[in-house]
Amino acid sequence: MPEGNGADRTGADGIVELRVVNKWFDDFHVLRDINLTVGRGEKVVICGPSGSGKSTLIRCINRLEEHQEGRIVVDGTELTGDVRAIEQVRRRVGMVFQQFNLFPHLSVMENLTLGPVLAARTAQSAAQSRARELLERVRIADQAHKYPGQLSGGQQQRVAIARALMMRPRVMLFDEPTSALDPEMINEVLDVMIQLVEEGMTMIVVTHEMGFARRVADLMVFMDDGEIVEAAPPEEFFTRPSNERTRAFLSQILTH
Amino acid sequence: MGAPARISTAVPVAAPRRPPPLRARSISHWLHANLFSNAHNTVLTLLCLVALVMAVPGIVRWAVLDAVWTSADGEACRTALGACWAVVGEKYRLILFGTFPYEERWRGWLVIALIIGLAVVSGFRRFWSWYLFLAWIAVLVVVLVLMLGGVFGLRRIGTNEWGGLPLTLLLFMGTVVGGFPLAIVLALGRRSRLPVIQALSIGLIEITRGVPLVAVLFIASVMFPLFLPGELTIDKLLRAQIGMIVFFAAYAAEVVRGGLQAIPRGQYDAADAIGLSYWQSTSRIVLPQALRVVIPALMNDIIRAFKNTTFVSIIGLFDVLGATKAALEDPRWIRFAPEAYLFVFALYFVFCLSMSKYSESVERDLRKGRNF
């Protein structure tokens, strides 16, 4: 454990480190003593019933939510109230949301280039060529001039993934990326995510897609009621979960 | 007994796509659908027809057939049965320009053309950007130079000589160009997490909304100078303008705030996640979306600001309405005030109607979810 060494650097332990993190929404204790380490290049899948705190947990990693106790260190930078640190972490962490959250008044191309041009002061032309390259990778190169409202849900989510990749993040956060999609569009998004897995991206994914999780996860994390209840490699997690709550949850989502 | 027979059936087909059936579009069909669809509507239609038949001939006779169109001194009007439109021909210079020096009227015309021209350009959505706002500020400067003079060999004309349509348009433009940014600042301030900024914004908005415009103008013209040191005097027109800006901004701020509240939280999340600062996400993500949503409501405030310019006549400034009133003090024409006021009425109506029609078209586009 790096505790007590006083420095922000946490050594080779992990690119994302959460140590005894606690958070409250008013009086409601939404995250309780969260300890989580994510190794460079590893994939962590978080599942759990709704309201268990899994979204809040990953939103703390790029400071969309503020934690009240404990330490969160991302790629050597600790998240405190310091605005510079927050900006630095956000440049290194890409995020994909359940509702895509594309900017509806901007074209696909503008959605992609806005962040790099404004926040990282990349030249417009460099940002555009990077955007074209990424749109190619998520297989919607021909939609660059369209607006988000003209795309299907699956296409929008692939644009959102491309947008998150624009700044060459070292960590990608996925907050239920397929939950708002029609069933026939889920695979096109999962395919892009698997592509990222194969490229060695560090990924933290909140999802109920258990087939995907079993295939890509290095670590499965089950959360309930603000706590990490169980954490295990997928093989063990799905075949012999140790906790009763995990078993109950898995039996609910794996039937039918 | 065997299993009950299955009732549910569905018929698979291979039907080609085809256009929808045509709707009947004949005149008789339209009449039936809109005017005579049932007994109740038929009675209403007939009653309206009777009212029209009774009113229209009289109006036409007064306004057109028996009207006097030209008369240098109003003599011809005295004996006529119809309207005296000659009053417009004789007094339009005063109505349009008030006490603005006669030989410098070209400057007034240029001001009118510049303001209306830029307003029309602003209507094209492809020009919508923050640059358009800069263009308004530039035109405001040019217009002020034209009106004031004193530079580039232009004769200096004091604001006490300004009047008529240039004054009305200038006050209107100043109110919107000055009030719009203030409204945005107040709306953002009201949602600020900093208590001092929030309190100041709420205070200014609520106090201003709690008093009538007439009171604001009286405060600006009569009371405000009392609080200033004696050697410092601010032009009466400028004081009225500031009062109107604050009044407009207080109302528009609440409209803008409504737009800000319509922005889903996910937009802020996404802007934060890609590393935008508060001002970057406010100017590029939040405001462009919030303002689009509130354009129709904002147009309402803008139209009201146009009509509110008439209030300056009560503090002794001669806008179009004030100048008309002054023009009618001529004893030869005083009888024909209704005709003069109808002309002014038409003038205001054309301006307000075009703004309101424009707002409708924006609303239609918004409803279709079109991007512009």
**pLDDT tens profile A57-111:** 999 999 999 999 999 999 999 999 898 899 999 999 999 999 999 999 999 999 9
Q: Does A25 touch chain B (CB under 8 A)?
A: no
What tokens were used for B108? 């007034």
Q: Are A48 and A58 a contacting pair, CB within 8 Å?
A: no
Q: What confidence tens digit (pLDDT) does each residue in A127-168 have?
A: 999 999 999 999 999 999 999 999 999 999 999 999 999 999
Mean pLDDT, chain B, as a whole number? 85
d(CA A213, CA A204): 11
**For A149, nearest residue in chain B (alpha carbons):** B369
Of A223 and B136, the one with more pLDDT: A223
Task: Supply the pLDDT for residue A62.
Answer: 92
Distance of CA A142 to the CA centre of its chain: 26
Task: Supply the pLDDT for residue A137.
Answer: 92
B270 min Cα distance to partner chain A (Å): 6
A227 min Cα distance to partner chain B (Å): 24
Task: Supply the pLDDT for residue A93.
Answer: 95
B124 min Cα distance to partner chain A (Å): 17
Task: Supply the pLDDT for residue B340.
Answer: 82
Quick check: B369 and A149 CB within 8 A? Answer: yes
**For B366, nearest residue in chain A (alpha carbons):** A105
Q: What confidence tens digit (pLDDT) does each residue in A50-71 have?
A: 989 999 999 999 999 999 999 9
Q: Are B116 and B306 a contacting pair, CB within 8 Å?
A: no
Q: Are A52 and A28 a contacting pair, CB within 8 Å?
A: no
Q: What confidence tens digit (pLDDT) does each residue in B278-330 have?
A: 899 999 999 989 988 898 899 999 999 999 998 888 887 888 888 888 888 88
**DSSP state string for chain A:** --TTS-SS--TTS-SEEEEEEEEEETTEEEEEEEEEEE-TT-EEEEE--TTSSHHHHHHHHTTSS--SEEEEEETTEE-SS-HHHHHHHHHHEEEE-TT----TTS-HHHHHHHHHHHHS---HHHHHHHHHHHHHHTT-GGGTTS-GGGS-HHHHHHHHHHHHHTT--SEEEEESTTTTS-HHHHHHHHHHHHHHHHTT-EEEEE---HHHHHHH-SEEEEEETTEEEEEE-HHHHHH--SSHHHHHHHHHHH--
**For A115, nearest residue in chain B (alpha carbons):** B274
Q: Are B322 and B277 a contacting pair, CB within 8 Å?
A: no
Residue B287: list chain A partners with CB under 8 A: none
Q: Which of B274, B282, B366 to mutate to test the interface with A (most CBs of A within 10 A)?
A: B274
**For B276, nearest residue in chain A (alpha carbons):** A119
Q: What are phi and psi of B69, to 5 degrees?
A: -95, -35
Q: Which of A59, A93, A95, A103 to mutate to test the interface with B (most CBs of B within 10 A)?
A: A103
**For B293, nearest residue in chain A (alpha carbons):** A105
Q: What confidence tens digit (pLDDT) does each residue in B143-192 have?
A: 888 888 878 877 888 777 888 888 888 899 899 989 999 999 999 999 98
Residue A166: list chain B partners with CB under 8 A: 274
Quick check: B371 and A105 CB within 8 A? Answer: yes
The beta-carbon neighbor of A101 closest among B266, B292, B371 is B266
Task: Supply the pLDDT for residue A2.
Answer: 43
Has residue B370 got a pLDDT over 90?
Answer: no
What tokens were used for A160? 């959102």
Quick check: B274 and A104 CB within 8 A? Answer: no
B293 min Cα distance to partner chain A (Å): 11
Task: Supply the pLDDT for residue B24.
Answer: 67
Distance of CA A126 to the CA centre of its chain: 26
Task: Supply the pLDDT for residue B71.
Answer: 76
Q: What are phi and psi of B9, to 5 degrees?
A: -140, 155
Quick check: A99 and B264 CB within 8 A? Answer: yes
For chain A, the residue count is: 256
Task: Supply the pLDDT for residue A223.
Answer: 95
What tokens were used for B246? 């604050």
Q: Which of A99, A176, A179 to mutate to test the interface with B (most CBs of B within 10 A)?
A: A99
Using alpha carbons only, what angle is made at residue B71 by residues B65 and B76, rounded to the nearest 5 degrees?
A: 65
Quick check: A62 and B272 CB within 8 A? Answer: yes
**For A87, nearest residue in chain B (alpha carbons):** B275
d(CA B63, CA B52): 16
Has residue A246 got a pLDDT over 60?
Answer: yes
Has residue A8 got a pLDDT over 60?
Answer: no
A194 min Cα distance to partner chain B (Å): 22
Task: Supply the pLDDT for residue B181.
Answer: 92
Q: What count of CB pairs under 8 Å joins A to B?
A: 67
Residue B272: list chain A partners with CB under 8 A: 62-64, 90
A170 min Cα distance to partner chain B (Å): 13
Across B10-38, average pLDDT: 82
Has residue A7 got a pLDDT over 60?
Answer: no
d(CA A35, CA A251): 26
Could you tell me the CA-to-CA distances from A38 to A46, A60, A183 in Å, in that order? Answer: 12, 14, 30
Task: Supply the pLDDT for residue A4.
Answer: 40
d(CA A184, CA B175): 53
Mean pLDDT, chain A, as a whole number? 91
Q: Does A91 touch chain B (CB under 8 A)?
A: yes
Sequence-ordered list of residues with C-beta below 8 angstroms from that of A207, at least 6 positions apart, any chain: A45, A46, A47, A174, A176, A177, A178, A179, A213
**Which residues of B lie inside 8 Å of A (Cβ-Cβ)?**
264, 266-267, 269-277, 280, 284-285, 288-289, 292, 369, 371
Has residue A44 got a pLDDT over 90?
Answer: yes
pTM above 0.95, yes or no: no
Q: How confident is the model at residue A46 (pLDDT cuts 50, 70, 90)?
A: very high
A89 min Cα distance to partner chain B (Å): 9
Residue whose tokens read 């969260």: A34
Task: Supply the pLDDT for residue A5.
Answer: 40
**For A168, nearest residue in chain B (alpha carbons):** B274
Q: Does A167 touch chain B (CB under 8 A)?
A: yes
Q: What are phi and psi of A30, to 5 degrees?
A: -90, -30
Helix, strand, coil abundance in chain B, percent, nearest 5: 75, 0, 25
Q: How confident is the model at residue B27 (pLDDT cuts 50, 70, 90)?
A: confident
Residue B273: list chain A partners with CB under 8 A: 62, 64, 90, 93-95, 97, 164
Task: Supply the pLDDT for residue A3.
Answer: 41
The ipTM assigned to this model is 0.89
Q: Are A175 and B270 a contacting pair, CB within 8 Å?
A: no
Residue A149: list chain B partners with CB under 8 A: 369, 371
Residue B266: list chain A partners with CB under 8 A: 97, 99-101
Residue A104: list chain B partners with CB under 8 A: 289, 371
Has residue A18 got a pLDDT over 90?
Answer: yes
